Structure 1
Amino acid sequence: MNKYIKYILVSLITPYVINTYAQTKEVAEVPKMVPEMTEVWEPQPRVVTPGIGQEAPSDALVLFNGKDLSQWKTRNGEIPKWNITDNVLTVVKSGGSIYTKDDFRDFQLHIEWQTPAKVVGDGQHRSNSGIIMQGGYELQILDSYNNETYVNGMAGSLYKQVPPLVNAMKMPGEWNVYEVIYIAPRFKEDGALFSPARLTLLHNGVLVQNNSEYKGNSAYIGIPKYKAHGDGPIMLQDHGETISFRNIWIRKL
């Protein structure tokens, strides 16, 4: 047996032994704690090589590499018709929303997005899009730079549910970065909710959602509700407005 494990076992059982022995005998001296008693050596975490610049970490799945949409499909399973120019993916009018071919549960998602330098529209009609997890939980994308709208519908919001803590939007024409940590909901065997979906978001390096809770699906009209489901795809929404993406990767958690 590893000597450090012995130290830990001694520290755990000693109080019980002393309490029992003290009922009839003189209490024994408690062993002195040493640093090794609280050190954990195994198992060692696996090694992941961090990305440099726009490179993804070594254990990430690259969802968009600037070249093709091989990791995506339309709702009907067809090849998406979005435009790719200079390593940038841009929504084409009437191109339809796109979905990852793979399904996911808990994940870390990195995605960069850009609204046009020339501003068109206002409110919810200014480069509106969204990232929809598992077919129902939306993280809003919108040009929220000097653009007044309802706060639970601005960039960085859990759409129609939780406003961002702050507005970290860059100027139109500049690239925004979302770092998303998503924890999927869990359901009981009878379909009842066990734990809700949660999301943490850094927008351009600024914390705007801190383990925020989805109250249910992201409904445009009505009250959010949960319905039991399993793993699901990630959708990038076509809202009929111009929005561009680049450098998209994901890590399953």
Structure 2
Amino acid sequence: MKLIPTLALALLVAAFAASAADKSPVWTDPVKAAQEDPDFIVQGEYGLNREGASVGVQVVALGDGKFDAYVLEGGLPGLGWTKEKKRVRLSGAREGDLVKFAEAGGFSAEIRDDRLSLYSNGGSVVEFPKIERRSPTLGMRPPEGAVVLFDGSSADEWEKGKVADGLLAATGCLSKKKFKDCTIHLEFRTPYKPKARGQQRGNSGVYYGGRWETQVLDSFGLDGKMNECGGIYSIAAPKLNMCFPPLSWQTYDVELTDARFDEDGKRTAWPRITVKLNGVVVHDDVELNKDGTTACPVKGPLTDEGNPLFLQNHGNPVFYRNIWVVEK
């Protein structure tokens, strides 16, 4: 199996950057990001990698030594924090070998050597190590009978698919096969773009049936809106923002129930979807109650012919791997 060499990956990244609306610096390799931008090492999650913590902290790099920190009551997302619990944003910046965060909402903080000290107004201090979480389904092998759409060897299962260093680029590729009721597994990685904001920060999307999008975006630390990672674009916000930091490999595990039709081909029920982002349910049996979401490539009335997968090109170097489908 011959893979496109590293030079091709660099050319793909350059092509993505040229098509992007902003001119922000971008990294697609975590090793280079750590070597070239010290802010990348600071960004991440601080707390306990288990349930039962009183708080957790997510630190987001904003470029030029500036950061936001989000103090989350009950622990990190998926380990205790929910949208109903307290969330406090702190603003910080480098001061010598420290990153200091000004007081807000009863908290202040500082980071030194991969440890965060969180101070409260009452005078107490709690120290947290930096942790790196992994999705429990990361690297999951396709079960017997699965349809493997991408295993790193070729893009033969895709229209307009491009492979670089064993990864499938988000070049607007559409699967050649169509599926009805099925389970879908895929893994994705967003770039590190600390100076970018909003929809320019690692944007892509997975369209089921080429119509309904679960957003792919570097939404680490953000609110968890409909147009952020885990959201079903223009239909539903995720229950929880389970987005990991950029350049982490992340997973979508999806149960798709196709639309239903009568003998005359008339639709009798909309499709439904259950979505896990990094192993946590963010949508539970949600009705996809329109013919397509924003910018969907497949148009027109629904049919009983099955559904392809589409990986959106939004001008950002987002990459995918380990994509397979189990038909029911």
With normalisation by structure 2, the TM-score equals 0.53
Partner of 1:152, secondary structure, is coil
Task: Give aligned pairs, total.
Answer: 188
Name the CA distance, whole Å, in 2 between partners of 1:199 and 1:226. Answer: 20
Name the CA distance, whole Å, in 1 between partners of 2:203 and 2:178. Answer: 24
Q: Per residue, is there more strand in 1 or in 2?
A: 2
Number of the residue aligned with 2:309: 234
Identify if the C-alpha distance between structure 1 residues 131 and 142 changes in structure 2 by more than 3 Å, giving closer, same or farther.
same
Q: Residue type of the partner of 2:199?
A: Q
Higher relative contact order (CA 8 A, sep 6+): 1
Number of the residue aligned with 1:77: none
Number of the residue aligned with 1:113: 188
Is residue 68–residue 84 contact of structure 1 (8 Å, CA) maintained in 2? no
Unaligned 5+ segments in structure 2 are 1-136
Which whole-Å deviations, capped at 9, do the CAs of 1:60-111 have from their partners, x for residues lacking one?
A: 111111111011113xxxxx3x2421x22233xxxx4111111111110000
Name the CA distance, whole Å, in 1 between partners of 2:324 and 2:301. Answer: 28
Unaligned 5+ segments in structure 1 are 1-50, 75-79
Is residue 203–residue 316 contact of structure 2 (8 Å, CA) maintained in 1? yes
Partner of 1:182, secondary structure, is strand
Residue 68 (str. 1) matches residue 171 (str. 2)? no
Residue 244 (str. 1) matches residue 319 (str. 2)? yes
Name the CA distance, whole Å, in 2 between partners of 1:53 and 1:137. Answer: 25
Of 170-179 and 133-142, deviating more is 133-142
Name the CA distance, whole Å, in 1 between partners of 2:248 and 2:232. Answer: 22
Q: Residue type of the partner of 2:189?
A: Q
Number of the residue aligned with 2:164: 84
Is residue 175–residue 310 contact of structure 2 (8 Å, CA) maintained in 1? yes
Of 163-172 and 138-147, deviating more is 138-147
With normalisation by structure 1, the TM-score equals 0.68
Match of 1:184 among 258, 263, 275: 258
Greater radius of gyration (CA) = 1
Number of the residue aligned with 1:153: 227
Name the CA distance, whole Å, in 2 between partners of 1:65 and 1:231. Answer: 22
Name the CA distance, whole Å, in 1 between partners of 2:144 and 2:195. Answer: 39
Name the CA distance, whole Å, in 1 between partners of 2:214 and 2:323. Answer: 15
Q: Residue type of the partner of 2:164?
A: I
- Percent identical across equivalent pairs? 31
